[in-house]
Amino acid sequence: MAQLASWFNHAHGLSLGRPVIDKTGLTGFYTFTLYWVPDEGPNPDQGAAILATLQDQAGLKLESRRGPVDYIVVDHAEKVPVGN
């Protein structure tokens, strides 16, 4: 399940708008097949379509929750001169 969550976080062209974290408590490896064909071009509803497919075909549901998120803050940057 952790690999599935990671796939959602790194799937190119498919954004759910927030990070996906595995909270299932399931360990081990699982094999399943999802039948889903993404629309051509950018489509903001792609995320909703894959979530519906995930629930209908695999019985998995993503729930929106608040929680801590790692981030990096750069509070200062300066250009360093390059010598000869």
pTM for the model stands at 0.61
Q: Which of 49, 53, 39, 58 is nearest to 16 (CA)?
A: 49
Burial call 16-32: b when 16+ CB within 10 Å, e when fewer: beeebbeeeeeeeeeee
Q: What is the pLDDT of residues 6-57, one digit of tens each?
A: 888 887 666 677 888 888 898 888 888 888 877 676 666 777 788 888 889 9
DSSP class of 18:
S
Tally of domains within the chain? 1
Q: Which domain holds residue 59?
A: 1-84
pLDDT at 44: 64
